[in-house]
A and B are shown apart, each in its own frame.
Chain A
Amino acid sequence: MTLGMAGRPTARIEVEGLTLASAAGDILVNDVDLAVSSGEIVALVGESGSGKSLTALAILGLLPRGIMWRGGRVRLNGTDVTGLAGPHASIRGRQIAAIFQDPQASLDPRWTVGRYLTGQFRRYGATSQRAARAAAVDMLARVGLGDPARILGAFPHELSGGMAQRVMIAGALAAGPQFLIADEPTTALDVTTQAQILDLLEDLQADTGLGVLLITHDLGVVAEMAQRVAVLYGGTVMETGEAADVLGAPWHPYTQALLASMPDLAQPAPPRPISGSPGDRLAAGTGCPFQPRCRDAIALCAQRPPSVVVSGSHRAACHRSEPRLPHGFGGDKTQPQTSGYPLPAAGTSSAERRHVG
């Protein structure tokens, strides 16, 4: 990660202490640190309400109305560009591009793909309509769409989901950005199409040295794509590090439980659910947000957890100072009732939890 790929200088987005709150004062994102360098894919993974999309929108300066910026900085190559406002507004699209979950919703239904793409290229430097169109044809070929001439004349409703996402990627890359923020880029797509789009992102990233911030809820996608990962819960980074370390030897009880709750195609044993729902969490800033659902919770968890260095860059925010026996990695998956996350009806877990807080 020291030298830029494809002869490009190494660029870096750094997010420090990002804290966002709702209008009512609830902390939605709490002190999130994150860095993406060119040439790497960093995944931000979490369930609904974990704050992963808000973090992306904050970097892009596209926070919806009613979300308050409580603190934190975004730096691009060392320059403070927090909020991408004023003189930094041109960074969005030019240096940091984004694609979102539902490509069909991101495209204007009244515009042909050609109008959208040539518009993108005109905006980012093509000197003539003819040059913009030529660049659009090239770009469509690069994102793997055969027959660019036909695609340019098509309206969004004539495209399949996978084609529409390729068009979005083509549009996002029009300005030759250094970074791409991909917010659940394959969630709305079929698995077979998902695999193709992920392959495309990987190829583009390798070719151009793009830095990708990949936002997803799917740990399978993380394992396939990312070099580094940050696991979010309740707006707080629970665990972060090299993807192989975090997924291979998860340290935080939340990461362990999340992995154990994934159905495994290779074995028909049932996955182990986490009790409660992602909405159950301690208000950010007061304690570990996962405490209400955590099987290993202790009284101390009502206080803000420290950042524990597991190894190298692998860090976890947990009061427990030694790793517990990882759930779901001891081959005991067949006895979910005795060793897994018990359902709330099983009594013991709720009793254990009640003495906390």
Chain B
Amino acid sequence: MTTVSATRPERMTRASAAVRKPLLKVEGLNKSFGRTVACRNIDFTLYPGEVIGIVGESGSGKSTLLNCLSGRLAPDAGSIAYDLRRGSEDAPLVDILTLSEPERRMLMRTDWGFVHQNPRDGLRMAVSAGGNIGERPMAIGARHYGDIRREAEDWLARVEIDIDRIDDKPRVFSGGMQQRLQIARNLVTRPRLVFMDEPTGGLDVSVQARLLDLLRGLVRDLGIAAVVVTHDLAVVRLLADRLMVMWRGDVVEAGLTDQVLDDPHHPYTQLLVSSVLQA
């Protein structure tokens, strides 16, 4: 045992505290629509900087789960505890369902991000690209025009959008550019947790590859934790450290992404993996 305790702290240099404190802890989450059970007894823990993928077919409950986690939908039962770092670094996790509306809104604008499948749901199409990026800083008090614009320019560069396009409205952007702008808009406040709903759905393969590359880089560089919902196993293979497979409201298999995909145990996961067509 002594050897273990001697090597452990070295391996965990990335974690700030000696004991890793979870960022998000979900326990016993249930959600039904009438008699249809969308999520049944979901438990999982997400650590800072970790990316978890949720895969499953349509109707498996993965999007409902994401909406519950991100505070957009109230679960029927269960708790979603998040590390708000209220007061001190080691303050206990707080159930987001107990937060007041202003507190929750603040959380969504600062510490959380949500990347929608359809950029139209996540962007203001009638506001310039720069304005889209500046909205979150402005919502939490930034007022200096020059600073906000500089920040917007910085983020456009990071998501590989030409700075000359800063005053263009997103509706004239291509699908891939809109999605990259949506990512910039979410990451500008340096959230610690980002929810993504099919972030590459609806994009052409050649464009999707670039977005995946970018997301991978940003998530790793900034140490962002993310919950990625997708039906595309190749996307989770690239982005996610861990994977949960949902089927009819249940998590039927969970584990390290490579482990689950290379050696699927549940019959549904096996079917899913074997259904993927490769060129």
Closest beta carbon of chain A to B46's beta carbon, Å: 21
A47 touches B205 (CB 8 A): yes
Q: Does A192 contact B (CB under 8 A)?
A: yes
Closest beta carbon of chain A to B51's beta carbon, Å: 13
**A220 with B279: in contact, given A191-B231, A261-B209, A270-B216 (CB under 8 Å)?**
yes
A188-225 to B contact mask, C-beta < 8 Å, 1/0: 00111111000000000000000000000111111110
> Once A and B bind, how many residue pairs between them come within 8 Å at the CB atom?
114
Q: Does A262 contact B (CB under 8 A)?
A: yes
**Complex Cα distance A193/B191, Å?**
36
**A273 with B160: in contact, given A219-B279, A223-B278 (CB under 8 Å)?**
no
Closest beta carbon of chain B to A271's beta carbon, Å: 4
Q: Does A81 contact B (CB under 8 A)?
A: no
| CB-defined contacts of B275 to chain A, threshold 8 Å | 191-192, 194-195
B232-249 to A contact mask, C-beta < 8 Å, 1/0: 111101100000000000
The listed residue (B206, B258, B271, B276) touching A278 by CB distance below 8 A is: B206
B234 touches A265 (CB 8 A): yes
Closest beta carbon of chain A to B177's beta carbon, Å: 7
From B273, which residue of chain A is reached at the shortest CB distance?
A265
Q: Does A263 contact B (CB under 8 A)?
A: yes
Closest beta carbon of chain B to A278's beta carbon, Å: 5
**Complex Cα distance A258/B207, Å?**
10
| CB-defined contacts of A300 to chain B, threshold 8 Å | none
A47 touches B279 (CB 8 A): no
Sort chain A's interface into a size bin: 35 or more
The listed residue (B205, B272, B278) touching A261 by CB distance below 8 A is: B205
A190 touches B58 (CB 8 A): yes
B160 touches A343 (CB 8 A): yes
| CB-defined contacts of A223 to chain B, threshold 8 Å | 277-279
A220 touches B277 (CB 8 A): yes
Closest beta carbon of chain B to A48's beta carbon, Å: 6
Closest beta carbon of chain B to A329's beta carbon, Å: 11
| CB-defined contacts of A190 to chain B, threshold 8 Å | 57-58, 231
Q: Does B89 contact A (CB under 8 A)?
A: no
**Complex Cα distance A48/B58, Å?**
24
Most buried by A among B58, B209, B210, B232: B209
Q: Does B212 contact A (CB under 8 A)?
A: yes
Closest beta carbon of chain B to A276's beta carbon, Å: 8
| CB-defined contacts of B279 to chain A, threshold 8 Å | 219-220, 222-223, 247, 259, 262
Closest beta carbon of chain B to A256's beta carbon, Å: 11
Closest beta carbon of chain A to B174's beta carbon, Å: 4
| CB-defined contacts of A278 to chain B, threshold 8 Å | 204, 206-207
Closest beta carbon of chain A to B50's beta carbon, Å: 16
Sort chain B's interface into a size bin: 35 or more
**Complex Cα distance A258/B205, Å?**
7
A273 touches B277 (CB 8 A): no
Which B48-91 residues sit within 8 Å CB-CB of chain A?
57-59
Q: Does A277 contact B (CB under 8 A)?
A: yes
Q: Does B103 contact A (CB under 8 A)?
A: no
Q: Does B176 contact A (CB under 8 A)?
A: yes
From A254, which residue of chain B is reached at the shortest CB distance?
B206
B213 touches A270 (CB 8 A): yes
Q: Does B227 contact A (CB under 8 A)?
A: no
**A263 with B212: in contact, given A193-B57, A344-B160 (CB under 8 Å)?**
yes
Q: Does B261 contact A (CB under 8 A)?
A: yes
Q: Does A274 contact B (CB under 8 A)?
A: yes
B210 touches A343 (CB 8 A): yes
| CB-defined contacts of B58 to chain A, threshold 8 Å | 161, 190
| CB-defined contacts of B238 to chain A, threshold 8 Å | 263, 268, 270-271
**Complex Cα distance A223/B212, Å?**
23
From A195, which residue of chain B is reached at the shortest CB distance?
B275
Q: Does A9 contact B (CB under 8 A)?
A: no
| CB-defined contacts of B216 to chain A, threshold 8 Å | 270
| CB-defined contacts of B213 to chain A, threshold 8 Å | 270-271, 273, 336, 343
| CB-defined contacts of A343 to chain B, threshold 8 Å | 160, 210, 213
The listed residue (B206, B235, B237, B261) touching A47 by CB distance below 8 A is: B206
| CB-defined contacts of A219 to chain B, threshold 8 Å | 205, 279
| CB-defined contacts of A265 to chain B, threshold 8 Å | 233-234, 237, 261, 273, 276, 278
Most buried by B among A223, A259, A261: A261
Closest beta carbon of chain A to B223's beta carbon, Å: 19
Closest beta carbon of chain A to B184's beta carbon, Å: 15
A264 touches B204 (CB 8 A): no
Q: Does A345 contact B (CB under 8 A)?
A: yes
**Complex Cα distance A223/B274, Å?**
15
**Complex Cα distance A200/B278, Å?**
19
Most buried by A among B58, B175, B274, B277: B277
Q: Does A279 contact B (CB under 8 A)?
A: yes
Q: Does A266 contact B (CB under 8 A)?
A: yes
| CB-defined contacts of A263 to chain B, threshold 8 Å | 208-209, 212, 232, 234-235, 237-238
A217 touches B204 (CB 8 A): yes
Closest beta carbon of chain A to B153's beta carbon, Å: 14
Which A179-194 residues sit within 8 Å CB-CB of chain B?
190-194
Residues of A within 8 A of B (CB): 47-48, 160-161, 190-195, 217-224, 247, 257-259, 261-266, 268, 270-275, 277-279, 336, 343-345
User: Which 9 pairs from chain A and chain B are nearest by CB?
Assistant: A220-B277, A273-B210, A263-B234, A219-B279, A190-B57, A273-B209, A274-B206, A261-B209, A271-B209
A sample of 13 cross-chain residue pairs with beta-carbon separation below 8 angstroms, ordered by A number, consists of A161-B58, A190-B231, A191-B272, A192-B57, A194-B277, A220-B277, A220-B278, A263-B209, A272-B209, A274-B209, A278-B206, A278-B207, A343-B210
Contacts A277-B177, A278-B207 supplied; 9 other A-B pairs, CB < 8 Å: A47-B205, A190-B57, A191-B233, A194-B277, A217-B205, A221-B277, A265-B237, A270-B209, A277-B174
